[in-house]
Amino acid sequence: TTPKDGLSAYWMPYTANRNFKASPRMLVSAEGMYYRDDAGNAILDGTAGLWCVPLGHAQPKIVSAVQKSVATLDYAPSFQLGHPSAFELAERLKKYTGGRFSNVFYTGSGSEAVDTALKIALAYHRARGNATRTRLIGRERGYHGVGFGGMSVGGIGGNRKTFNSALLQGVDHLPHTHNLEKNAFTKGEPEYGTHLADELERLVALHDASNIAAVIVEPVAGSTGVLIPPKGYLKRLRELCTKHGILLIFDEVITGFGRLGTPFASDYFDVEPDIFTTAKGLTNGVVPMGAVFVKPEIHDAFMSGPDGIELFHGYTYSGHPLACAAGLASLDIFEQEGILEQAQSVAGYFQEAAHALRGLPHVIDIRTIGLIAGIELESRPGKVGARAYEAFTRAFDDGALIRVTGDIIALSPPLIINKQQIDELFGKLSAVLKNLA
Ligand code: PMP
């Protein structure tokens, strides 16, 4: 496939890796575990699209629910009006959180969910008379989308640099939890680094807790290379946030909806945030949608508005009927087809297969948790990302879709993957790695 004239503007937003423009691979259809490219080749989906297709592509029940929805109610405003499936989905989602998160705010994407969560945190403190609690804390190498809120708390310097003067003020970043011990080759949570959560104490000493609104972290950082928190780290963060009256926000845009074999990462780590965001798997990637989950007292404070002024918040596409239809059908499948059990049953096999790549040329670390694997390659001198990008193109041409971020290969297949397909994925990847210069 060669780039077509006029496509560069379209491809540009995707070119975190500049080479991408030179060889765009085209996907033209998808079913189950496989994409098809424009030459008709089957491509095994090792990434669930962009972490967002847990139930596999063209899932028949989702397709028919969305078709039915578009033919019945194509759009409904969510201001002053409602429609039944938005409420039904909210109720079902509440149950999916074990009933602890009473309210859900719908958004159109993960980035909007993050910005909404940050607004809710600030409004909550203000409504409780703590108007000085405005500082936000993210984490280095955190990724929270491309909105101004998400960029501000995100920990990717390159994403922030151009916009620094316009980003939120009063934002600090905790250290990331990676590379404390190189080449750890960990399954599940590494044993080191719980003390890194104590960095929060340093920020509290510096700014005073009465000025800090919230800490936001991804339970497992995905987009920046599969960074798994050390054992006890999230629990410690929870303890410190509670101690200082700081809200803890989990960004579960990637980890939500079964990626770790549990409904949410908070279930996996047994740590409850005050607010959490989701998107991606919520609608199986079919219709864009994000959602922010909050506890009742936080919801009520946000909705009460500041200083008696009614608050305005919401998006044109909040609770879109098609997205709600896709979300409801997805939850049906999760519940009726035992998807979490299926994910749990193959996670060990998947992780073993990933760790079997150890010893192949250039592989310097492998990290796995649930159905996520990060395989870190040594960078070519002065060319960060080039080696992994080559692995990506070769794997694609050999019929396997992998994702690369810098020189880290991230794998996150649909949760319906079976052992044979796991063998196929890692067989192709290992052949690629064996021949990679
Ligand atoms: N938060 C996290 C943790 C993400 O991984 C992403 C997307 N990869 C986002 C937020 C942004 O989501 P979206 O691209 O839907 O805006």
Contact call for residues 392 and 425 (beta carbons, < 8 A): no
CA atoms within 13 A on the CB side of 184: 21
DSSP-derived secondary structure for 78-127:
-SS---HHHHHHHHHHHHHTTT---EEEEESSHHHHHHHHHHHHHHHHHH
pLDDT at 12: 42
Supply the angle between the helices 339-355 and 419-434 in degrees, to the nearest 10.
Answer: 30
**pLDDT at residue number 23:** 55
d(CA 205, CA 417): 47
Alpha carbons 294 and 273: distance in angstroms, whole number: 9
Complex ipTM: 0.99
pLDDT of 313: 87
Dihedral angle, C-alpha 327, 331, 337, 342, nearest 10 °:
90
- Give the pLDDT confidence score for residue 312 in this predicted structure: 81
Q: From CA 429, how far away is CA 148, in angstroms rounded?
A: 36
- Residues whose CB is less than 8 angstroms from the CB of residue 212 and which lie 6 or more positions away in sequence, other chains included: 133, 135, 136, 137, 203, 204, 244, 246
Give the position, in ligand 1's atom list, of the atom nearest the Cα of 145: 11
Ligand 1 centroid, distance to 193 Cα (angstroms): 25
**223 in contact with ligand 1, CB cutoff 6 A:** yes
Query: Is the Cβ atom of 403 under 6 angstroms away from ligand 1?
Result: no
Is 153:249 a contact under the CB 8 Å cutoff?
no
115 lines ligand 1 (CB under 6 A): no
Which residue among 254, 264, 276, 284 has the greatest number of ligand 1 atoms within 8 angstroms of its CB, and so is best to mutate? 254
Residue 135 to residue 139: CA distance in whole angstroms: 14
Q: Which residue has the tokens 């052949």?
A: 431
Q: Kindly report the protein residue whose alpha carbon is nearest to atom 7 of ligand 1.
A: 145
Question: What structural domains does the chain harbor?
Answer: 8-58+338-434 (3.90.1150.10), 73-336 (3.40.640.10)
Nearest to 195 by CA among 236, 227, 249: 236
- For the Cβ of 218 lying below 6 angstroms from any atom of ligand 1, the answer is yes
- Of the candidates 391, 390, 349, the one whose C-alpha atom is nearest the C-alpha of residue 373 is 349
Q: Is the CB of 151 under 6 A from ligand 1?
A: no
Determine whether 61 is exposed, middle or buried from the number of CB atoms within 10 Å of its CB (0-12, 13-18, 19+): middle
DSSP string, 313-360: ---TTTT-HHHHHHHHHHHHHHHHTTHHHHHHHHHHHHHHHHHTTTTS
Q: What is the pLDDT of residue 180?
A: 67
- Treating both helix axes as pointing N-terminal to C-terminal, what angle do 321-336 and 60-72 enclose, rounded to 10 degrees? 150
The Cα–Cα gap between 366 and 360 comes to 11
Q: Return the ∠ at Cα 357 (arms to 353 and 358), rounded to 5°.
A: 120
**111 Cα: distance to centroid of ligand 1 (angstroms):** 6
144 lines ligand 1 (CB under 6 A): yes
Measure Cα distances from 241 to 66, 201, 214, 237 in Å. 41, 10, 8, 6
Q: How far is the CA of 308 from the centre of ligand 1 (A)?
A: 33
Q: From first to last of the 437 residues of the chain, give the pLDDT tens digit.
A: 344 443 433 444 444 444 444 456 889 999 999 999 989 999 999 999 999 999 999 999 999 999 999 999 999 998 889 999 999 999 999 999 988 898 999 999 999 999 999 999 999 999 999 999 999 999 999 999 999 999 999 999 888 888 999 999 999 999 998 876 777 899 999 988 788 899 999 999 999 999 999 999 999 999 999 999 999 999 999 999 999 999 999 999 999 999 999 999 999 999 999 999 999 999 999 999 999 999 999 998 888 876 667 778 899 999 999 999 999 999 999 999 999 999 999 999 999 999 999 999 999 999 999 999 999 999 999 999 999 999 999 999 999 999 999 999 999 999 999 999 999 999 999 999 999 99
Q: Ligand 1, residue 110: give the atom nearest the CA.
A: 12
pLDDT of residue 26: 84
Task: Give the distance (Å) from ligand 1 centre to CA of residue 257.
Answer: 14
Ligand 1 pocket residue status of 370, Cβ below 6 Å: no
pTM above 0.90, yes or no: yes
> 148-169: buried (b, 16+ CB within 10 Å) or exposed (e) per residue?
ebbbbbbbbeebeeeeeeebbe
Q: Is the minimum distance from the CB of 110 to ligand 1 under 6 angstroms?
A: yes
- pLDDT attached to residue 206: 98
Task: Please work out whether the CB of residue 350 comes within 6 Å of at least one atom of ligand 1.
Answer: no
Report the pLDDT value the prediction gives residue 246, as an integer from 0 to 100.
98
| Strand 247-251 to 275-278 pairing | parallel
Inter-CA distances, 230 with 177, 240, 247, 263, Å: 7, 16, 21, 21
Rg (CA), the chain: 21
CB atoms within 10 A of CB 306: 14
Q: Residue 147 CA: which ligand 1 atom is closest?
A: 16
Q: For ligand 1, is residue 278 a contact (CB within 6 Å)?
A: no
- Any ligand 1 atom below 6 A from CB of 255: no
